[in-house]
Amino acid sequence: MNFYLFKPDASGDEGDNTVYVGDPKARPCVISHLHYEFNLWPEDELLRSVSQYVGTQRLRQELEALRPPVTGVDFADVEISGDEDEFERMERQGRSDSELGKWYWFKITGKAGLDDFAVAPVGHLVISERVASIMLEKSMVHNPERQIQPWQAEIEAGRVPQKGAPAAGES
Amino acid sequence: MGTGCLSAVRGNNRATVAEVSPSMADVEEKGERRPVESRALENQPEAQAARVAGVHDVKAAQALNQNAHNGSAGGDQNESIELVMPKASGGYDVLASRIKAPEKPEEPTPKPKAEPLTVDFLKAKAQQGDIWAKSFMPELEQAYRLPQGATQDLLIGQVLKKAEVIFRPEDRVKAQPEPQSEDQSQTSTGTIIAKQAEKNPAVEPVKALYDWAYKLEPGPQKEKHQQLAREQLVALEPQTKGTLDALDQRRQLAAEQEDCGVHELPRKQKEPMQGHVSYPDKEMEGVRRLTPEDFKKLAKAMEAGGPAAEESIRQTTQEILVRTGESSRDTMLAGINLVVGLLKYDRDLLLNPEQARKDASKAGEGLGLLLLAGAQMSVGISMTAEEAKQSGDYSLPLRRTGEALNRWYEKQTPADQMAIVSEISAGFGVAAFSAEGNKLRKPGAFMEFLQEGIAVLPRNPEAERKALEALTGVFKGRQVLKEAVAVGRVEKAGEVVKEAQEKGLGDHIMAMVRYFEHGKKKSVAGEYAAQKAGVTTKQELEALTDAQLKAVGLERVAEHYSDAFYKAYPHLESMRSKLQVHHALPQRLLEKKHAGLFSAQEVNDLKYLSGIPNDARIGKDRVHQLITNSWKEWLESNTNPTREQVLEHMRNLDQEYGRFFVPPLEKGVR
């Protein structure tokens, strides 16, 4: 299976109600409650803050329908809101929070080149071809030319590049 | 053939100027002589022969005429009489003749064709500041965010259908710009900028700057801003430099010609009939046709603020227009515009005094009209909703305007008060309220006086016109509503806060001083800050120095960053709805994980604020989004940055995206 580098847009940030467990600067940082505060109206269905990811209900449903089951991501609830500054003044344009749709916290847990989802440097993601296909076919990304690119595996110490290797569960 | 007679040349009645120039006396003399000549001719043998000539003889004689006309002598009728000037070189010039150009059937003047209402039309109107067009923009933008297809088309179609109610075909024709030649776009800096703004949305703020500067009084300030606009245009569109240089050269040439004695013709008077107030029947009638319910709905719509207000006003307008019918559409719109303008002024008195100051003159005129139209202003706490319903309350809640007017009046010296009252009384055709001098010095008396005066005004156009002149003379001439902004602002500060807290006017709270708690990117409530600082009142909190606040983990920021930005760039006020105020230093830097790196005052400092047009895009990506993405990626890989590293990344972004900023920026400017 091929893998792709996905560059999610950052349409928001971790809000005040986010609960960090330990040092927020730690990588990975541990969060027990994610509050995603939008500061730009979202154009995509999979977004990031600095270190966390959120996706729409529609994307979650598409992923959960995959067989074999999607790997490298866990879904959890997320609190969402819009910031009181430019989002409220410019971006919202009279639209209610409900028009943002239902969002979920996408906890990325996979290994690049093995799982459907994995974290790459600077907060990008490595996604499998089947995930990339869903996002393209369902128009979940506004600028796929920029955001989805072929992934070049990097050789890590003590690890063989996994690009092209079958995903977990695949024969 | 002697001079003084028309001379037939080449068989034609062609006369030289010298022959016809003698006075009419010749004509009279000729008239007297004609019978003698006629009688003499009758006796000639040739005449006898001619009288008895047959048809063939006549035709043979006519055939000898080489320049025959189709008159009695044959030939072309149009050449039968000509006035000619002999030339030195021989021959002659025809100066006048009876030749008339063949009459063509008059073609009807083609009427400008009304194009179907388009998105471009709405956008153009919105850019011109039309509030109705602006109110459709959010819906259109929403539609355009959808993928192209049937749903998008449907939504756009719905918006255009709604807009049809407001914009009739005639309006669209009227709104069509005059065709301009290419050359005309090069005749002034303004047109060059405007033309570029049509192509590149990032130039729109530059256009706003130029337009704003254009209205300034001539002087160094005006030149400075106009020059700045030119520089910004060249920064965004470098190819325009050549055009601007060429324009300068043309102007220089023209100036030199002027020095050589070429003088400009006197300009057409721009401001006709200073001091005369026209009687705007349409506005007056429009206001009169609005029902108390309409007033309430419009006022309520304005309370919403921002785009929601525009949308709400648009809906209310549509309802009114549908109810009143097409025939009175223009009248109703004129009335609604007047009311909405006053409501906006009233709101701006509280939330945007600078804008209120700008609109003061127009509001003054509108206020006079409104009062004369019979509407009243709710100055104080008015009747209950039920009472209003029963009495058909025609009041417009311009409470702040009314209060500001009263306060302005109370600020005047007794002599000025007397002069003001006399001026208005004279216009109303009633004796000055001299006997009630004491009453007129009581607080709140001015509005009462106005409304009472208007109540006794005879309802005929002439009386109303005079009254309107008097009111306009006071409101505009004395710049009442302009001064009222300052009076109202200073004295009402306490109430303003109270009102904002009661009504939850978010905008308004933002206009106040803000307090930031260390480690948090958002400001905290005044009450919380006071509690944290160990004081009990707002005044005590305000009295604390920055050092005292710092000691308790607080920081004071003088005003909301958005206010600071627009105060510094007033020419961008008209762009508010199109411009995001961007923090070049992300507010996230104020969070605990970066605590101490930058202060809230720095992050919100004007130096680190830039406007980014909403529609500024690079390909499919919003510029603001690309900058935000860049910061997220950078902070993810720089979890412990230094101040200098942060500033360097900011400068790199300035270099990459600064051309989209308003004002444009280059790397190293900050």
Mean pLDDT over the full length of chain A? 87
Interface of B with A in 563-582 (CB under 8 A): 577, 579-582
Bond prior to B663 in cis (omega within 30° of 0)? yes
Q: What are residue B322's phi and psi, to 5 degrees?
A: -65, -40
Contact B629 A7 (CB under 8 A): yes
Look up tokens 């990459």; give the residue: B656
Give the length of chain A. 171
In this prediction, residue B430 carries a pLDDT of: 62
**A41 to chain B: nearest residue by CA?**
B625
For B105-158, the pLDDT digits (tens) are: 545 555 555 567 888 888 888 877 676 777 778 778 877 877 777 777 877 887
Nearest to B580 among A90, A94, A95 (CB): A90
- CA nearest neighbour of B163 among B198, B134, B129: B134
Model confidence at A126: pLDDT above 90: yes
Binned at pLDDT 50, 70 and 90, residue B614 comes out as confident
Average pLDDT over chain B, rounded to an integer: 70
Interchain proximity B629–A94, CB inside 8 Å: no
Over pLDDT 90: what percentage of chain A? 68
**Per the structure block, which two tokens stand in for B208?**
């706003």
Q: Which residue type, as a one-letter code, is found at position B279?
A: Y
Contact A48, A9 (CB under 8 A): yes
Residue B239 confidence (pLDDT): 78
Compute how many other C-beta atoms are within 10 angstroms of the C-beta atom of residue B297.
Answer: 19
Indicate the pLDDT class of residue B165, thresholds 50, 70 and 90: low
pLDDT confidence of residue A167: 39
| Per-residue H/E/C for B399-414 | HHHHHHHHHHHHHCCH
Quickly count: other Cβ atoms within 10 Å of residue B501's Cβ. 14
Residue-level pLDDT at B217: 78
Q: What is the pLDDT of residue B438?
A: 55
pLDDT surpasses 70 at B261: no
8 Å CB contact of A7 and B625? no
Contacts of A45 in chain B (CB under 8 A): none
Burial class (CB in 10 A: 0-12, 13-18, 19+), B388: middle
Pairing of β B523-524 and β B514-517: antiparallel
Residue B603: which H helix or E strand, with range?
helix B600-603
The confidence score (pLDDT) of residue B666 equals 75
Closest chain B C-alpha to A68 CA, distance in angstroms: 30
User: Is B619 at the interface with chain A, CB within 8 A?
Assistant: yes
More confident residue, B614 or B390: B614
Interface contact flag, B637 A16, Cβ < 8 Å: no
Percentages (nearest 5) of helix, strand, coil residues in chain B: 65, 10, 30
Q: What's residue A24's pLDDT?
A: 80
From A75-89, B49-63, B124-138, B624-638, the region with the lowest mean pLDDT: B49-63
DSSP string over B50-107: HHH--HHHHHHHHHT-TT-BEETTEE-GGGSEEEEEE-TTSSEEEEEES--PPPPPPP
Cβ within 8 Å, pair A10-B522 = no
Give the pLDDT of residue B61.
58
Please give the pLDDT value at position B398: 72
Residue B587 has pLDDT above 80, yes or no: yes
Give the residue among A65, A46, A71, A64 at the shortest CA–CA distance from A123.
A46
Chain A neighbors of B592, CB-CB under 8 A:
24
Residue among B639, B640, B649, B653 with most chain A CBs within 10 A, to mutate: B639
Residue A4: closest CA among A130, A100, A89: A130
Query: How many CB pairs (< 8 A) connect A and B?
Result: 80
Which residue type does A170 have? Answer: E
At B350 the pLDDT is: 67
Amino acid identity at B475: F
Q: Is the pLDDT of residue A96 over 50?
A: yes
Tokens representing B114? 């009304």
pLDDT tens column, A24-50: 878 778 999 999 999 999 999 999 998
Q: How far apart are CA B411 and CA B423, in angstroms?
A: 17
Mean of pLDDT values over B530-541: 86
Instruction: Over range B370-386, report the average pLDDT.
Output: 54
Residues in CB range of A149: below 8 A, 6 or more apart: A4, A5, A7
* pLDDT confidence tier of residue A139, bands split at 50, 70 and 90: very high
CA angle, B496 then B499 then B503, to 5°: 140
Please give the Cα distance from B212 to B358 (Å, whole number). Answer: 12
Beta strands in B558-660, from DSSP E residues, in sequence order: 579-583, 609-613, 617-618, 621-622
Q: A49 with A36: CB under 8 angstroms?
A: yes
Chain B residue closest in CA terms to A47: B629
E-strand stretches of B316-428:
376-377, 395-396
Residue B419 has pLDDT above 80, yes or no: no
Q: A90 at the B interface (CB within 8 A)?
A: yes
Q: Report the Cα B224 to chain-centroid distance in Å.
A: 23
pLDDT of residue B570: 83
CA of B145: which chain A residue's CA is closest?
Answer: A43
How many residues in total does chain B contain? 670
pLDDT at B2: 38
pLDDT recorded at residue B386: 44
* Residue B83 backbone phi and psi in degrees, to 5: -110, 120
Of residues B532 and B32, the one with the higher pLDDT is B532
Q: Measure CA B524 to chain center.
A: 40
CA quadruple A109, A110, A112, A116: dihedral, nearest 10: -120
Lowest-confidence range among B49-58, B220-229, B385-394, B559-568?
B385-394
Residue A143 pLDDT level (bands cut at 50, 70, 90): very high
pLDDT over 70 (residue B46): no
pLDDT tens digit string along B203-259?
Answer: 888 888 888 888 887 787 788 888 888 888 887 887 788 788 877 777 776 665 544
Q: How would you class B562 by CB atoms within 10 Å of its CB: exposed for 0-12, middle for 13-18, buried for 19 or more? A: buried
Catalogue the E-assigned strands of chain A. 3-6, 12-14, 19-21, 30-33, 35-38, 46-48, 53-56, 73-77, 79-82, 103-108, 117-119, 125-128, 148-150
Span between the terminal Cα atoms of chain B, in Å: 96
CA–CA separation, B385 vs B382, rounded Å?
9
User: Would you say residue B263 has pLDDT above 60?
Assistant: no
Shortest CA distance to B140 belongs to which of B459, B614, B628, B561?
Answer: B614
User: pLDDT higher for B474 or B26?
Assistant: B474
B231 vs B82: which has the higher pLDDT: B231
Of all residues in chain B, the percent with pLDDT exceeding 90 is 10
Contacts of B288 (CB under 8 A, 6+ apart): B335, B373, B374
Give me the pLDDT at residue B98, please: 55
Residue A59 has pLDDT above 80, yes or no: yes
CA B427 to chain centre: 31
Tell me B149's DSSP state.
Answer: S
Bridge-based pairing state of the strands B579-583 and B609-613: antiparallel
**Contact B146/B155 with Cβ under 8 angstroms?**
yes
How many C-beta atoms surround the C-beta of residue B153 within 10 A? 12
pLDDT of residue B58: 55
Residue A5: strand pairing partners: A126, A149
pLDDT for position A164: 43
Nearest residue on chain A to B635, alpha-carbon basis: A50
- Name the amino acid, one letter, at A8: P
CA distances from B107 to A12, B100, B170 (A): 64, 19, 22
Q: What is the pLDDT of residues B538-557, one digit of tens each?
A: 888 888 999 999 999 999 99
If we measure between CA atoms, which residue out of B256, B412, B135 comes closest to residue A93?
B135
What number of other Cβ atoms are within 10 A of residue B33's Cβ? 10
Query: What's the CA gap between B291 and B296, in Å, rounded?
Result: 9
**B147 to chain A, minimum CA–CA distance in Å?**
8
Residue B600 has pLDDT above 80, yes or no: yes
- With tokens 């997220």, the residue in question is B632
Where would I find the beta strands (DSSP E) of A122-165?
125-128, 148-150
Q: Does residue B370 surpass a pLDDT of 60?
A: yes
| pLDDT above 70: residue B667 | yes
Per the CB < 8 A criterion, the answer to whether B74 and B65 are in contact is: yes
A45 vs A60: CA distance, rounded Å: 10
Task: Give B425-466 pLDDT, tens digit per residue.
Answer: 777 766 544 435 556 666 667 777 777 777 666 666 677 777
The predicted-structure confidence for B638-660, as pLDDT tens digits, reads as follows 988 999 999 999 999 999 999 88
Buried b (16+ CB within 10 A) or exposed e, B215-248: eeeeeeeeeebbebbbebbbbbbeebeebbeebe
Among B273, B263, B280, B206, smallest CA distance to B237 is for B206
Asked if pLDDT for residue B468 goes beyond 80, the answer is no
> Residue B377: what pLDDT?
59
Report d(CA B185, CA A152) in Å as an integer. Answer: 52
